[in-house]
């Protein structure tokens, strides 16, 4: 029988990526699937803090074992910004976020950056954190239609194409989220 686990996210792209990574052994339930339609507060100033807030909220209000992902893009030349504020960087959506980032980087030749995710897992009384990082660089213009968020302006190390151009098969193998989900799977297997 498939193991059911709740992923405390409102981001359909994250849900799709993680469900693909976890494969057939797991049924990943969305917040909507458990009747949670609230916007869970993300008031911490670290990925770990926010991931734990989201997971705890679901555990406390809905009683499910669950995991949550807090993630973002950290740009070296911007001192790690937008970081934990990646989703809210411009006050608009992904297009506006990318436009603001490209503008802030217009005069910058040092273009190193990384995506980072922290996954918080709550099972029973236990909590665990898993981290995944993928290094790369910021392009000068947006390229590709796949993925979500900042994918069209991020080229992972060892590739010449953006995550949006590489497509989900490659991204789901090498991304920050893939690295954290690998550890999540090990932990879920141990708990089972």
User: Which residues here bind ligand ITT, judged by CB under 6 A?
Assistant: 9-11, 14, 42, 69-73, 86-87, 94, 115, 147-151, 175, 177
Smallest separation, CB 93 to ligand ITT (Å): 9
Smallest separation, CB 25 to ligand ITT (Å): 22
The number of residues making up the chain comes to 192
* Residue 39 designated active-site: no
Smallest separation, CB 163 to ligand ITT (Å): 6
Distance CA 89, CA 57 (A): 24
Given the complex with ligand ITT, which of 123 and 133 has the nearer CB atom? 133
Given the complex with ligand ITT, which of 26 and 149 has the nearer CB atom? 149
Q: Which of 70, 126, 151, 160 is catalytic?
A: 70
Question: Please, is 106 exposed, middle or buried when counting C-beta atoms within 10 Å of its C-beta (0-12, 13-18, 19+)?
Answer: exposed
Smallest separation, CB 100 to ligand ITT (Å): 12
Given the complex with ligand ITT, which of 26 and 114 has the nearer CB atom? 114
Question: Please, is 67 exposed, middle or buried when counting C-beta atoms within 10 Å of its C-beta (0-12, 13-18, 19+)?
Answer: buried
Contact status, residue 55 vs residue 44, Cβ threshold 8 Å: no
Given the complex with ligand ITT, which of 39 and 107 has the nearer CB atom? 39
Q: Which residues are known catalytic residues?
A: 70
């Amino acid at each position: 029988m498939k193991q059911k686990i709740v992923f405390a996210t409102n981001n359909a792209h994250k849900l799709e990526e993680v469900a693909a990574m976890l494969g057939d052994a797991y049924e990943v339930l969305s917040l909507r699937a458990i009747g949670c339609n609230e916007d869970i507060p993300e008031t911490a100033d670290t990925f770990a803090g926010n991931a734990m807030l989201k997971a705890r909220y679901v555990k406390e209000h809905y009683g499910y074992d669950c995991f949550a992902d807090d993630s973002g893009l950290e740009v070296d030349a911007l001192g790690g910004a937008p970081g934990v504020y990646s989703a809210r960087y411009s006050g608009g959506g992904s297009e506006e976020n990318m436009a603001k980032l490209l503008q802030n980087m217009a005069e910058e030749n040092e273009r190193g950056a990384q995506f980072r995710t922290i996954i918080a897992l709550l099972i029973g009384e236990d909590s665990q954190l898993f981290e995944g990082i993928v290094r790369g660089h910021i392009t000068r213009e947006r390229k590709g239609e796949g993925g979500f968020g900042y994918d069209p302006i991020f080229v992972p190390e060892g590739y010449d194409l953006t995550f949006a151009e590489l497509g989900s098969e490659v991204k789901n193998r090498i991304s920050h989220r893939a690295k954290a989900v690998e550890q999540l799977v090990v932990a879920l297997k141990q708990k089972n």
